[in-house]
Amino acid sequence: MSVGLRTVMLTIVLAAGLAGVFYMGFSFAGEDSRGFIPSLEVVGDVQDPLVLRELDEDAFLIETVHLRDGTARAVSLEDLLRKAVPRSDDIDLLLVGDDGGTAVLSGVDLSGMRVALGEQYGWEVVNGEHPVSSHARMLREIVVIAGDLPPGEGIGLIDANSNLFRLSAGELHRGGYSVVMRQAGISSVAGDDEELAVSLFDRERIVDLEGFVDPSALDLALVVGDRGEVQLLRGDGRFLLDRNRISYAEGEDVLIEEVRGLVLDPPDRMITDVYRDAQQFLQEEEPVLLLLLDGLGYHQYVEAAEGGHAPFLRSLPQPEKALAAYPPVTPVNFAAALTGVTPDQSGVTRRGIRTAEVPTIFDLSLQLGRKATAILGSIGVIGLEIDPVLCVDKNSDGSTDDEIRDAALARFAGDYDLILVHFKDIDRAGHDHGAQAAETLEQITRIDGYVSDLVRAWDGQVIIFSDHGMHSTGEGGDHGVFRVEDMIIPYWTFDGGRIHE
Ligand SMILES: [Zn+2]
């Protein structure tokens, strides 16, 4: 990654926040300010925040620069940033001084800039021999703010219908938090005659979400974490701004280390309901058919239904919206649906993990003495307590979904209490052509026909769901990020025995 290749003019803005219209109080560091030099942190939209207490020769190429009357040790600003790994090539820098004074470097050629460590002014950014700004002496933080945040970075705010906005740690460092001192404990030290009590405080940076969103919109919201955690936002919950991420805490406890997003006014259903609904049917001795339509977002269903591309699905009772687990990819949601718990609890938190740490619905069906099977593609997804039926593309038409339909139909006469069927072609078409491309709608029509074949032949309960949605990109489609198109899926549950009466 190269940083700051663009050469634009250097602007220094004394600003509290973005507006740059009012000045923050700061004091000029005088001759007598020598002494303790605070560490310098590189924070914000970076992958690896830095905390520097000195300039380490093992980590950096150290130079000597002439500065005012003397010399100082220095390192190139580009090197420093490279080490922190900015999340974008296009960045602004906020230089925060020890006294709260700030300078913004926006669209600047960084190649001539050095970060010097001198006795008089501590850390400072110099351009050649000249300090960049007298207001950013005694630097405490260099905040990296990404100009174009890559998809999936930062925290997203969505509701069940739309992407509202995204916030990055860098932007929040620029002016989206309040500092609160929070009593962290009291430590007692026994003196000769008396006990000395020392109160300990944590300095917390609390994100001012209400500066970005109408506070009433936060009355009912879910907080979603990087490991798939889901928490109902509590009135006394707070978001803490860390060096390069945001966490969610209630009282003394950090419940989510890294927040990925918030769902405002969330749908009632979540993908984990598949387990609970299937469990109920198994316990009531009602046979249940689970149809997983891989990669069908709610928005795609609506598009297909309204355009006449999903006549059978449209003939069913209206699907509900459900929230997929984060990250919205197949193994994670396959596990969430079949175990009934979120990824942080199932252990399937990302692609590549093929075993859940908790039992699936198939374990329950074994315990209840019910007959169960799963009809999947050639590889399967995660380990199950039963041996699934894996289907290969026998007729070499480029799809296994036709073989999957046939294998499922062939088992309907076998007195099964639980059958899971996983169709994959909507996802494939979505990746290749885009979420709402004609080719993808065509696949939805084909799968709609397979669903019709199965539901009409099944005498029992039916749950139809998807594992995640799909958003369009320049080259087709993708999923896996905290966006409404990926996170909101359709969910049908109905009595299949009655639908075709
Ligand atoms: Zn996919």
Tens digit of pLDDT per residue, the chain (501 long)? 334 333 222 333 322 232 222 223 333 334 344 457 789 999 999 999 999 998 888 889 999 988 887 889 999 999 999 999 999 999 999 999 888 788 888 877 888 899 999 888 899 999 877 777 776 788 999 999 998 888 888 999 999 999 999 999 999 998 889 888 877 777 777 767 777 777 777 789 999 888 888 889 999 999 999 999 999 999 999 999 999 999 999 998 999 999 999 999 999 999 999 999 999 999 999 999 999 999 999 999 999 999 999 999 999 999 999 999 999 999 999 999 999 999 999 999 999 999 999 999 999 999 999 999 999 999 889 999 999 999 999 999 999 999 999 999 999 999 999 999 999 999 999 999 999 999 999 999 999 999 999 999 999 999 999 999 999 998 999 999 999 999 999 999 999 877 665
**Does 409 lie in the same domain as 307?**
yes
Asked whether residue 182 falls in the same domain as residue 280, the answer is no
In this predicted structure, what is the pLDDT of residue 500?
A: 61
In-domain check, residue 165 = yes
Give pLDDT, residue 486. Answer: 98
Centre of ligand 1 to C-alpha 257, Å, is: 27
Distance 329 CA to ligand 1 centre (A): 7
How far apart are the C-alpha atoms of 199 and 201, rounded to whole Å? 7
Could you tell me the residue range of the domain that residue 208 belongs to?
155-264
Angle among Cα 195, 200, 206 to the nearest 5 degrees reads: 160
| Gap from CA of 429 to ligand 1 centroid (Å) | 9
19 within domain boundaries: no
Q: How far is the CA of 432 from the centre of ligand 1 (A)?
A: 10
- Could you tell me if 79 and 65 lie in one domain? yes
Same-domain status, 59 and 204? no
Query: What letter represents residue 300's amino acid?
Result: Q
**CA 467 to centroid of ligand 1, rounded, Å:** 9
Do residues 348 and 201 share a domain? Answer: no
Residue 8 covered by a domain = no
Same domain, 443 and 294: yes
Q: What distance in angstroms lies between residue 174's CA and the mean position of ligand 1's atoms?
A: 36
Q: Is residue 5 part of a domain?
A: no
Per-residue pLDDT, 433? 98
Name the domain count of the chain. Answer: 3
Ligand 1 centre distance from Cα of residue 106 (Å): 38
Q: Residue 230: how many CB atoms within 10 A of its CB?
A: 20
Do 401 and 446 contact (CB within 8 A), yes or no? yes
- Count the helix, strand and coil residues of the chain and give each as a percent rounded to the nearest 5: 25, 35, 40
DSSP letters, 286-311, are --EEEEEETT--HHHHHHHHHTTS-H
Cα of 474 vs centre of ligand 1, distance in Å, is 16
Quote the CA–CA distance of 250 and 247 in Å, as a whole number: 10
Residue 348 CA to ligand 1 center (angstroms) comes to 16
Distance CA 360, CA 368 (A): 13
Q: How many helices (H) and strands (E) does the chain have?
A: 13, 30
pLDDT at 135: 67
Tell me the CA–centroid distance for residue 43 and ligand 1, in Å: 33
Fill in the DSSP letter of residue 32. Answer: G
Whether 163 and 309 share a structural domain: no
| One-character DSSP codes across 177-210 | EEEEEEEEEEEEEE-SSSEEEEEEEEEEEEE-GG
Q: Which of 102, 126, 146 is the last residue of a domain?
A: 146
Residue type, 146: A
My answer on whether 402 and 278 are in the same domain is yes
Distance 500 CA to ligand 1 centre (A): 32
Tell me, in angstroms, the distance from the centre of ligand 1 to residue 328's CA. Answer: 9
Same domain, 76 and 36: yes
CA 362 – CA 370 distance, rounded (Å): 9
For residue 77, being part of any structural domain is answered with: yes
Distance 17 CA to ligand 1 centre (A): 40
Angstrom distances, CA of residue 408 to CA of 20, 119, 231: 64, 76, 37
Q: Residue 110 in contact with residue 128, Cβ under 8 Å?
A: no
Q: Rounded to whole angstroms, how far apart are CA atoms 500 and 37?
A: 77
CATH of the domain at 82: 3.90.420.10
Q: Is residue 107 part of a domain?
A: yes
Q: What is the CA radius of gyration of the chain?
A: 28
Nearest to 347 by CA among 363, 362, 331: 331
pTM for the model stands at: 0.86
- The tokens for 396 are 């070499």
Q: How far is the CA of 427 from the centre of ligand 1 (A)?
A: 5
**pLDDT (0 to 100) of residue 149:** 87
Buried b (16+ CB within 10 A) or exposed e, 127-153: beeebbbebbbbbbbbbbbbeebeebb
Domain end marker among 115, 146, 177:
146
Q: What is the CATH number of the domain that holds 480?
A: 3.40.720.10
Distance 330 CA to ligand 1 centre (A): 7
Residue 485 Cα to ligand 1 midpoint, Å, equals 13
Q: What is the pLDDT of residue 501?
A: 57
| Last residue of one domain, picked from the residues 122, 146, 170 | 146
Query: How far does residue 153's CA lie from ligand 1's centre (Å)?
Result: 19
The verdict on residue 20 lying in a domain is no
The whole-number pLDDT of residue 38 equals: 84
- Give the three-state DSSP class for 497: helix
C-alpha 295 to ligand 1 mean position (Å): 6
Ligand 1 centroid – CA 22 distance (Å): 48
Residue 357: what are its φ and ψ, rounded to 5°? -85, -5
CA distance 143 to 180: 20
Residue with tokens 């999957």: 404
Cβ-in-10-Å burial (0-12, 13-18, 19+) of 219 comes to: exposed
Q: Are residues 103 and 232 in the same domain?
A: no
Domain shared by 224 and 254, yes or no? yes
Q: Do residues 369 and 482 both lie within one domain?
A: yes
